[in-house]
Amino acid sequence: MRELVIGAAQLGAINKDDSRESVVTRMLALLDQAALRGCDLVVFPELALTTFFPRWYMEDQAEVDTWFEREMPGPATQPLFDFCREHGIAISFGYAELTPEGHHFNTSILTDKTGRIVGKYRKIHLPGHVEFDTERDFQHLEKRYFEPGDLGFGVWRNLGAVMGMCICNDRRWPETWRMMGLQGVELVALGYNTPSVNSQNRTEGERERLFHSELSIQAGAYQNATWAVAVAKAGVEDGFPLMAGSIIVDPNGFVVARAETNGDELISHRCDLDACQFGKRTIFDFARHRRIEHYGLITSRTGAEAPPEHDDA
Amino acid sequence: MRELVIGAAQLGAINKDDSRESVVTRMLALLDQAALRGCDLVVFPELALTTFFPRWYMEDQAEVDTWFEREMPGPATQPLFDFCREHGIAISFGYAELTPEGHHFNTSILTDKTGRIVGKYRKIHLPGHVEFDTERDFQHLEKRYFEPGDLGFGVWRNLGAVMGMCICNDRRWPETWRMMGLQGVELVALGYNTPSVNSQNRTEGERERLFHSELSIQAGAYQNATWAVAVAKAGVEDGFPLMAGSIIVDPNGFVVARAETNGDELISHRCDLDACQFGKRTIFDFARHRRIEHYGLITSRTGAEAPPEHDDA
């Protein structure tokens, strides 16, 4: 058995006025707990260092850029990496990345147990919209502030396992999971900031939203025979509620650990990476069962196109 | 609203000795119920006309071929088509198809309300194995008796909706759903014959098997904003138990109707096809959100390939 103790470090609300330093202090407190539990890897949410700023409409790019990190680690985040090295714990967390060339990405990183960054992912499936939308109950401007990720869906060998990352809305897209599954992924780390209500449909509340999130994560894990660690930014940020419900899912798709609160909370599970092998060798042995000659539209067609109406019987 | 009353006509056990005529009589009894409920479309299981014969190892091709239909409709199945026309009900069911050219497929058809066949699908994701497997608790020889389907994943306009089909194991593959989703599918009809126990893992019983089935169907429906009708061949066939649990799932992924028995049972639901539109226009508006430039492996690589071990950190 190849076992790793995986921690999911849910964060509660981060308001607009909360400094990165105050957030890092909270993350270090969760890492202290993780060290006591013997965690090998701790996963934090998407955009872990700040409030979920894409809910705020901004026209001044200089203001937008204040939410981004120009270096990683930087002065505010260095203590996280120091903790990794001192305690032999790997971490993954999300942040808004501003590159030296001026590109903006919704990014997550993965470190080894020395605090070295071994993997970087930039969010590919950006939800939301570009311009202020008067039809929505609140804004979700990820398509305004970020470019789609340009690194593809990678996996990395880390701590003896094949690890991948995705971010928030990516989890709803089976392509995300399959791209990593085709690279033999054994553990997917993902963070999210998910409003508790659908901004375009008030009747879709937390029950439905949690169901959709878990359904997508559980199906992705089962259908690719991988562990999944899904970590929320939760709580009410400046009046805007975010869904909690961080979970760890096994390669059969079953939830094995679940956060109980809307605040800072560590859940953990001892994950046997070899438990991925049964699925990968039997029902989801892709080499024996996939039929790529019939999947052409998946990579040749972006949008849906229904057959012409006149075909109707 | 475009509403259709959809029936899922679960069949209980069909033993080896049961004739096609006896099965068609049972199907007609379910169709009688469906007519009383005002069903527009009734979906029957995979290989609806016979026992699930791929559990039996056969070497004599003439014996194998006795399980196949050389024409559709044929003498035994003509009453089903007559019923369609007389009552204005469309049907879908599965059968083993032997073509004039000698090809063997696991097939399903879809009719309109006059009993005309408007769509045909041949199962693409064949599970199981080719040779007698002494390691299994029982055999699952679909790869021996069938060729992979050669018609791709189609959709058809029927009864004012865009309808697609898949069969049994296809439901576990997100590629199946996405291929139809990219063609604007609004209702997926699927039948299955699923053993209640995993032949390669006795600890995986009915609870896990039902969970995996529902998870895959619900995720496929939600992530493509389509209705799904999943219909079991259930009961104990010659001592071999099959999973029941036929369901109708809405475009949000929620189960709206579920069979309660292991026998012949009709469930139905009034399905609003326009309920697919919210998902197709917002979170799963493929044209705005899919990033096919990052999905390349899905159609270029069949099996999984993990990164080399020496990359390990």
pLDDT at res. A154: 97
In a domain, A308, yes or no: no
Give residue A202's pLDDT band: very low, low, confident or very high (50, 70, 90): confident
In a domain, B104, yes or no: yes
Alpha-carbon gap: B22 to the closest alpha carbon of chain A (Å):
31
In a domain, A313, yes or no: no
pLDDT at A311 over 80: no
Peptide bond into A241 cis (omega under 30): no
pLDDT at res. B179: 98
Residues within 8 A of A (CB atoms), B 63-122 only: 112, 116, 118
How confident is the model over B280-296, as a mean pLDDT? 98
pLDDT at res. B309: 85
A200 touches chain B (CB under 8 A): yes
Catalytic residue from among A97, A123, A276, A280: A123
The CATH number of residue A193's host domain is 3.60.110.10
pLDDT at res. B124: 98
Contacts of A40 in chain B (CB under 8 A): none
pLDDT at res. B253: 98
pLDDT at B313 over 80: no
Average pLDDT, chain A: 97
In a domain, A140, yes or no: yes
Per the structure, the count of domains in chain A is 1
The answer to whether residue A123 is catalytic is yes
The ipTM (two decimal places) reads 0.97
In a domain, A248, yes or no: yes
In a domain, B308, yes or no: no
Place of tokens 């759903």: B177
Task: Enter the pTM of the model.
Answer: 0.97
In a domain, B309, yes or no: no
How confident is the model over B163-171, as a mean pLDDT? 98
Q: Residue B204, SS3? A: coil
pLDDT at A89 over 50: yes
In a domain, A13, yes or no: yes
How confident is the model over A276-305, as a mean pLDDT? 98
pLDDT at A240 over 50: yes
Structural domain boundaries, residue A130:
3-300
How confident is the model over B69-79, as a mean pLDDT? 98
Contacts of A181 in chain B (CB under 8 A): 304
pLDDT at A64 over 80: yes
| CB contact set of B97 (below 8 Å; sequence gap of 6+) | B68, B69, B72, B104, B105, B106, B107, B122
Which tens digit of pLDDT belongs to each residue from A67-88? 999 999 999 999 999 999 999 9
Q: Do A252 and B212 touch (CB under 8 A)?
A: yes
Give residue B1's pLDDT band: very low, low, confident or very high (50, 70, 90): confident
pLDDT at A49 over 80: yes
Q: Do B290 and A173 touch (CB under 8 A)?
A: yes
Chain B residue whose CA is closest to A171? B223
Give residue A309's pLDDT band: very low, low, confident or very high (50, 70, 90): confident
The answer to whether residue A46 is catalytic is yes
pLDDT at res. A313: 47
3-state SS of chain A is: CCEEEEEEEEECCCCCCCCHHHHHHHHHHHHHHHHHCCCCEEECCCCCCCCCHHHCCCCCHHHHHCCCECCCCCCCCHHHHHHHHHHCCEEEEEEEEECCCCCEEEEEEEECCCCCEEEEEECCCCCCCCCCCCCCCCCCCHHHHCCCCCCCCCEEEECCEEEEEEEHHHHHCHHHHHHHHCCCCCEEEEEECCECCECCECCCCHHHHHHHHHHHHHHHHHHHCCEEEEEEECEEECCEEECCCCEEECCCCCEEEECCCCCCEEEEEEEEHHHHHHHHHCCCCHHHHCCHHHCHHHHHCCCCCCCCHHHCC
